[in-house]
Amino acid sequence: MSRQVAPLQIGGIQVWPPLVLAPMSGVTNRTMRALYKPFGLGLTVTEFVSCNALAYGSKRTMEMIDQHGLEKPVATQLWGDDPEMMAQAARVVRECGADIVDINFGCPAPKVTKTNGGSACLRDPQRCEAIMRAVVAAVDCPVMMKMRLGWSEGALVYEEVAKRAQEAGIQAVTLHARTARQFYKGSADWEHIARLKRAVDIPVIGNGDLDDAQVALQRMRDTGVDAIMLGRATLGNPWLISQIVDLMEGRPAAPLPSSADRLRFCMVHYRTMVQELGEARAVPQMRKHVALYLKGMPGAAILRERIMHIDSGDAALAVLEETIARLESSSTAA
């Protein structure tokens, strides 16, 4: 068997496989990243953090950039609209162990864009360039950048911003193929990603609607991108990561696990979150994860409703154990 794609090279860091876990606010904490890394991710990215919040050094913000040391290499993603503040934040996260600094020009959430951060920066490509130059000059590690197509359909600036990024010393760019105004509606347009790959010489990472292993690899081949980034599709289904790695390494994709085995891993996820975050924080966070692990299973809607009203980790785990027993009993009877 031989590799079907080449490693991703970001400055002096080689990433294999060329498969990146997207930064997701409130989701990709160090616990979740460490649990998902063994499925085959080549690069993980922290939750995106505000450069202004880092300046205050709050405990919550510092937790967001914390690492286990199990996921090298790891990138830390920053957002903000002030070049000097972004540079200061980059120095902080580099000192805290980031192998790569990632700049966020992609988040469409109002809490970010109302202060001109995230995808709102794309309304001013010159400001984007100033931020990128400041961050590159501030750190001794590779800097990458993630963006959307533009603020709106009538203002697609991704090629211009990527060319400015290349000139500023950015060493890789990720494109989520929707506009900021789209949020997650409609479909990601991978033709724009292919166009960007032809327009710049630095590595391009494609992102958007990759929820099938065969489709993901085909989009990588069709567009010529250097890597792909997975986000929401992995939640409750980290086995998608393994399937894509199988294909990248020239193997048939392994079948997805049984519903019972999915819930066994969900229980590992649940216990680990409680151990690391404490029950008061872990239980509310795990509700959304459990709902995703349950997706497509018989009686999922009723089980989700039960989990949503449980405030105890032990009680939630008991429901999962009960569900596993019922699934296996049904399978044996069949």
Q: Is residue 65 part of a domain?
A: yes
Residue 61 neighbours by CB under 8 Å, 6+ apart: 49, 50, 53, 54
Mark which of 248, 281, 314 sits at the end of a domain: 248
- pLDDT score for 279: 94
pLDDT above 60: residue 334: no
Q: Is residue 3 part of a domain?
A: no
Q: Is residue 1 part of a domain?
A: no
Per-residue pLDDT band for 68 (boundaries 50, 70, 90) equals low
Tally the domains of the chain: 2
- Shared-domain flag, residues 228 and 158: yes
**Nearest CA-CA partner of 138 in 205, 197, 80, 58:** 80
- Shared-domain flag, residues 97 and 75: yes
How many other C-beta atoms are found inside a 10 Å radius of the C-beta of residue 35?
17
- pLDDT score for 330: 79
Clarify whether 266 is annotated catalytic.
no
pTM, 2 dp:
0.94
Mark which of 195, 221, 248 sits at the end of a domain: 248
- Shared-domain flag, residues 16 and 94: yes
Q: Residue 205 sits in which domain range?
A: 8-248
- Shared-domain flag, residues 206 and 242: yes
Taken in order 183, 174, 213, 219, is the CA torsion positive or negative?
A: positive
- Shared-domain flag, residues 191 and 269: no
- pLDDT score for 63: 72
Mark which of 195, 223, 248 sits at the end of a domain: 248
- Shared-domain flag, residues 308 and 199: no
The mean per-residue pLDDT over the stretch 98-114 comes to 95
Evaluate the omega torsion of the peptide bond into residue 73 and state whether it is cis, within 30 degrees of 0. yes
Token pair, residue 205, equals 């990472």
- Shared-domain flag, residues 107 and 182: yes
Q: Is residue 253 part of a domain?
A: no
- Shared-domain flag, residues 162 and 39: yes
pLDDT 10s digits, 288-307 = 999 999 999 988 999 999 99
- Shared-domain flag, residues 130 and 268: no
pLDDT 10s digits, 22-35 = 999 888 888 999 99
Selecting among 51, 107, 128, 266, the annotated active-site residue is 107
- Shared-domain flag, residues 181 and 146: yes
Q: Average pLDDT, whole number, for the chain?
A: 94
Q: Is residue 30 part of a domain?
A: yes
- Shared-domain flag, residues 152 and 291: no
